[in-house]
DNA sequence: AACTCTAACTAACAATCGTTAGTTTTGTAT
DNA sequence: ATACAAAACTAACGATTGTTAGTTAGAGTT
């Protein structure tokens, strides 16, 4: 996974297509490759247990060489987290904008969570487990985005209760139990194996909304 | 929080009763105090982001002094995790032994999860987030306990479906969504504030089993 | 052929890590 | 008073951390 010039790199990287699972990174810039590699390591061991030398080893280069492409470890973490946080925020905005019934909106929240999880499962691990290791502005931003997301979800649930669509249970309990299931979805990505995404959406919506009895 | 001899320590520790939240550690051995302090730090920042010097600072001693009481950082982590893992395992055994209906057993699982979370909330943070940093036998033990716990829960759910008590949904989806809610309960401990534990149990059982509509 | 740019390299920095060895302080028991 | 044990201390170890500075190799451009 070494490369001295982009063309040469693309060639040598191309060679990996048939022997490696990382062929999907082929079209990425060197920077984004590093971020992807870091993401999988962060997911397995957590931000603080992964050294720059660990990341470099997978990239088949020396740790110092990483700094030709990124400004530091913090940049990797913050770009990972902010990317997926923005995905959630923008999807949530779309849902709010639909002005459908609260129940339909909740169903939609479950669905987009599954979609985003499939697309960004490694990023979500960092968002969930390592957000507190962000520094400065990035930390503030992520906390704010998280609060706004929760507040949006909370207001949907409250509206659902007011309009009689949802049982008058403690809204915080509802919010919490749905959200914690959705947030841990990334852990389930490999376990569910070949389970179809659309089937998963259907079942998940059913279980979370209609219960199990 | 320094102490040269146990009696003196108990006295000086006693002085803290009226000025500090840590009065509850009063009757603990020095070793268990260290473990408790480590637990709160691990919960906030994660195992790898907490140094022995951090723990020592809270204990008002030098890092090397910790080794008069514990064998190392690993011992702290493993005793934290194994303590709560055993609590879950033993409670689950009791539930299995009751031979009640599957639904009643699931309700009971939710309730004991809330109880154990209230008692061991810091330990659960480590169990959830830092189990992978265990080494050797402790790691194997915890993985095995986790698998057995999940398998027990899974078989209850399957029995519930077979006997028609539970809707014939994908059992893995049910298992996952209940378990991930329960496992993240510890995050909610401060948020829920003054919410009564028994009320929480009632609402949580209702939401997880009967759904929200 | 000479120049430029990218992306790697080597070498090293200061800081921090978990831990060990040996020593001193302190309260208790004889 | 003396001896003992508990629990702190100082000092330092080798390893690892994120990062910087300066250099080199290879490919494209003129």
B65-85: pLDDT as tens digits: 999 999 999 999 999 999 999
CATH number for A6-66: choose from 3.40.50, 1.10.3470, 1.10.10, 3.30.420.
Answer: 1.10.10
CATH number for B73-210: choose from 2.130.10.10, 1.20.1250.20, 1.10.357.10, 3.40.50.1820.
Answer: 1.10.357.10
Q: Is the pLDDT of residue A136 over 60?
A: yes
3-class DSSP state of A161? helix
Residue A211 gets the label, from left (phi > 0), alpha (psi -120 to 50) or beta, of: left
Please answer yes or no on whether B207 and A169 come within 8 Å at the CB atom. Answer: yes
Rounded Cα distance between A102 and A108, Å, is: 10
Please answer yes or no on whether A132 and B209 come within 8 Å at the CB atom. Answer: no
pLDDT for residue A27: 59
Chain segment A39-75, per-residue pLDDT in tens? 999 999 999 999 999 999 999 999 999 999 999 999 9
Percent of chain B with pLDDT over 90: 80
Q: Is the pLDDT of residue A80 over 70?
A: yes
Q: Is the pLDDT of residue B153 over 60?
A: yes
Integer distance in angstroms from CA B15 to C1' D16? 41
Chain segment A82-131, per-residue pLDDT in tens? 999 999 999 999 999 999 999 999 999 999 999 999 999 999 999 999 99
Question: Is A167's Cβ below 8 Å from some Cβ in B?
Answer: yes
- Closest nucleotide (C1' vs CA) to A70 is D19
Domain boundaries, chain A: 6-66, 73-210
Mean per-residue pLDDT of chain B: 88
Q: Is the pLDDT of residue B8 over 60?
A: no
* A:B CB pairs within 8 Å: 126
Question: Is B2's Cβ below 8 Å from some Cβ in A?
Answer: no
3-class DSSP state of B195? coil
Residue of B174, B187, B207 with shortest CB distance to A173: B207
Chain segment B185-212, per-residue pLDDT in tens? 999 877 766 678 899 999 999 999 999 8
pLDDT for residue A195: 78
Q: What is the DSSP string of A122-140?
A: HHHHHHHHHGGG--HHHHH
Q: Which of A38, A19, A18 is nearest to A28 (CA)?
A: A38
Query: Closest approach of chain B CAs to the CA of A78, in angstroms?
Result: 17
pLDDT level of residue B4 (50, 70, 90 thresholds): low
What is the Cβ-side half-sphere exposure of residue B35, based on CA atoms within 13 angstroms? Answer: 21
Which nucleotides of strand C are protein-proximal, with an atom < 7 A from a CB?
Answer: 6-12, 16-22, 25-28
Buried/exposed code over A13-30 (b: 16+ C-beta within 10 A; e: otherwise): beeeeeeeebeebeeeeb
Could you list the protein residues whose CB lies below 7 A from any atom in strand D? Answer: A 4-5, 7-8, 50-54, 63-64, 66-67, 71-74; B 2-6, 9, 30, 56, 60-65, 68-69
pLDDT for residue B17: 30
Which nucleotides of strand D are protein-proximal, with an atom < 7 A from a CB?
Answer: 6-12, 16-22, 25-28
Rounded Cα distance between A17 and B19, Å, is: 64
Contacts of A174 in chain B (CB under 8 A): 207, 212
């Amino acid at each position: 996974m070494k490369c001295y010039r982009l063309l040469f790199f693309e060639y040598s990287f191309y060679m990996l297509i048939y022997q490696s699972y990382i062929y999907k990174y082929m079209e990425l810039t060197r920077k984004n490759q590093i971020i992807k590699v870091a993401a999988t390591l962060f997911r397995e061991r957590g931000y603080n247990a992964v050294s720059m030398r660990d990341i470099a080893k997978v990239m088949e280069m020396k740790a110092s060489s990483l700094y030709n492409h990124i400004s530091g470890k913090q940049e990797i973490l913050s770009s990972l987290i902010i990317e997926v946080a923005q995905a959630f925020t923008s999807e949530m905005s779309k849902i709010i904008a639909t002005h459908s019934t609260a129940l339909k909106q909740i169903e939609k929240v479950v669905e987009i969570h599954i979609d985003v999880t499939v697309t960004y499962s490694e990023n979500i691990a960092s968002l969930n487990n390592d957000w507190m290791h962000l520094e400065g502005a990035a930390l503030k931003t992520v906390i704010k985005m998280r609060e706004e997301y929760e507040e949006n979800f909370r207001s949907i649930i409250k509206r659902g209760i007011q309009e009689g669509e949802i049982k008058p249970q403690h809204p915080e309990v509802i919010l919490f139990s749905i959200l914690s299931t959705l947030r841990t979805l990334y852990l389930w990505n490999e376990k569910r194996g070949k389970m179809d995404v659309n089937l998963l959406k259907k079942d998940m919506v059913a279980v979370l909304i209609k219960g199990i009895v």
